[in-house]
Amino acid sequence: MDAAPPAAGQDFRREFVDFAIRIGVLRFGEFKTKAGRLSPYFFNAGLFHDGASLGALARYYARAALASGIAFDMLFGPAYKGITLAAVTAVALAEMGHNVPFSYNRKEAKDHGEGGSIVGAPLAGRVLIVDDVISAGTSVRESEALIRAAGATPAGVLIALDRQERGQGALSATQEVSRDYGVPVAAIATLDDVLATLAGRDDLRDRLPAIEAYRRQYGA
């Protein structure tokens, strides 16, 4: 599908943060990240694990895809978390009048039946990669290689939350992916949205100082 014009209303981003807090996907406390940093918050997309929460998540992904301005012809979900995310996002997009195909990869190629490592629609045209978060960018690198090997074009990456913190250098992990692979990275919500949401909630405003301090230390 062609790029949609930027959505006039971006309220869904803070709605998503409130939703993630309500069902316990976004938590506050002290958590060790993959980079070894002690973070005052943690986002675990694996906790969208029932029909209602997954359906709501899919609609947020679909709205973010349409609001991103990225032109894409199909979705691709990197194994493993991305498989479910791409599938449900395709369903939500279809319900919104944008029916696009999707596919995903196996970790190990199948040598019988249909064979190969790609399941679903053939990789073709402009492919939007759908995943939960970007940390080291490994799944994006593997997905990009699969998409190009099939003769298709990576159109961009869509994730749930952009932590907006430094990756290997001064840039954020998402900025590094965008630079390294020449594709835009869009998110349902960012750390800016988390901070704005907390600032508007009396019950969670006391979490702001720790997150702001963390951002000063590790923010991109």
Asked if 107 is an active-site residue, the reply is no
Within 63-213, strands assigned E span: 74-77, 102-110, 116-120, 126-130, 153-162, 185-190
Residue 110 annotated among the catalytic residues of the structure: yes
Q: CA 43, CA 208: separation in Å to the nearest integer?
A: 16
DSSP-based three-state secondary structure for 172: strand
> φ and ψ at 121, to 5 degrees?
-65, 145
Distance CA 185, CA 134 (A): 10
Distance CA 52, CA 54 (A): 6
- Residues labelled as active-site residues: 110, 112
